[in-house]
Amino acid sequence: MDRFFAPLSRRRSRRAPRSYDKLSRVSLSIYIAMIPTVLLALISRLSPAFSDAYNRTVGQALRFIFAMLTSWLPFSLAEAMLLLSPLLLTLLIIHAVRHRSATWRRAGIYILEVLSGACVFLILFVWNFGAGYHGATIDAEDKLDLKRTKVSAEELYQTALILREQVNEEAAALAFREQSFSVMPYSNTEMNSKLLDAYEVFCDDYGFITSFRSRVKPVMLSEAMSYTHITGVYSYFTGEANLNVAFPDYTLPYTAAHEMAHQRGIAREDEANFVAFLVCIASDDAYIRYSGYLNLYEYVASALYRADKDLYYELLNGLSTEVRYELRAYSDFFDKYRDSVASEVSGAVNNTYLQMQGTQGTRSYGLVVDLAVAYYKK
């Protein structure tokens, strides 16, 4: 029996270690996968109809799968990956010095292998999320069926009046700290569940978006994140909607609904803002409706201030006292983060990213105002 197994044992002991002088099979496979990825990206940019069809079928299935794979985790996997990235970078450098610096060939191949890792993120972006930027806009006939036009100061004022009255009505049923913020009467987990219920109602009315149950992840380093002015982020590579929980209560339901809109394939920022509004006001919960109305009111009122200051102050005078204290408290809260260097850097990065997707950069967040005016005119 020993003689029977000996040759096999010797063959195993002689197995050569992996050669560092050629590209690994994994990296080669990733580069091959980039070919259909580039084709998909090009077709998506050229055909809005294809982008919409892909986004509602294959893209939606992939986003759902990724969301389900990470939803059971009580923390944000994307945040954990970001926190571990310095350690990963250090290990890559150590490995390069010890094993990949003997020849220029080995060094070059190592660089290609590291770059293949970066390509994975690009592949996931294109296949999971990117098509959403290139479909028909949300005001299209087969979506919300709105007529979006250039708006006047008077139209802004009339829209803001409607929102103001809704804000005042919802605020009357809420609890406020003395001359300060409103109080969300339940936990973030309960808020998550209420938003999912509201999404089911919204998706019953509009077929261009699919409802499913998912978990919004609170960011552990929310305080540090606040210096970047980021209130939430959807990580397409883990399928997670992440929420900055350091911001005041009234911003949380609306922001969470915004990131959940991204999770369901609404890529453009103005459209995610407006879907978040429609979802919030579809809720049977007064605080979530208040969050939706007040956040959209702020966008419209800000646009009115730039267009006609007299109409803006007339509008402001009719806002309930509690809500005015809420907005003043928010301004005081935000002063701490207002002029941070981190916000300038993150703003520049985000603006560049959004412009690369064919949008108007960070200005696209404010374009929700046009949708609001068109919605209430209809």
Contact 158, 292 (CB under 8 A): no
Distance of CA 340 to the CA centre of its chain: 22
Query: What confidence category does residue 160 fall into, taking pLDDT thresholds of 50, 70 and 90?
Result: very high
Q: Is residue 223 part of a domain?
A: yes
**CA angle 345-346-351, nearest 5°?**
100
pLDDT digits (tens, 9 = 90+) for 184-210: 999 999 999 999 999 999 999 998 998
Q: Is residue 145 part of a domain?
A: no
Last residue of a domain, one of 133, 161, 192: 133
State how far the Cα of 68 lies from the Cα of 154, in Å rounded to an integer: 46
**CA angle 224-228-230, nearest 5°?**
95
Q: Is residue 215 part of a domain?
A: yes
pLDDT digits (tens, 9 = 90+) for 256-267: 999 999 999 999
DSSP string, 91-141: HHHHHHHHHS-SSHHHHHHHHHHHHHHHHHHHHHHHHHTGGGGTS--TTST
State how far the Cα of 190 lies from the Cα of 81, in Å rounded to an integer: 27
105 and 158 together in one domain:
no
Mean predicted confidence (pLDDT) in 266-275: 96
Mean predicted confidence (pLDDT) in 219-244: 96
244 and 324 together in one domain:
yes
Contact 161, 301 (CB under 8 A): no
What rounded mean pLDDT belongs to the chain? 91
The structure's pTM equals 0.91
Give me the domain span that covers residue 86. Answer: 19-133
Q: Is residue 119 part of a domain?
A: yes
Contact 277, 292 (CB under 8 A): yes
pLDDT digits (tens, 9 = 90+) for 292-347: 999 999 999 999 999 999 999 999 999 999 999 999 999 999 999 999 888 888 88
* Beta pairing class for 216-218 and 240-243: parallel
294 and 345 together in one domain:
yes
Q: Which 8-state DSSP code applies to residue 235?
A: E
106 and 175 together in one domain:
no
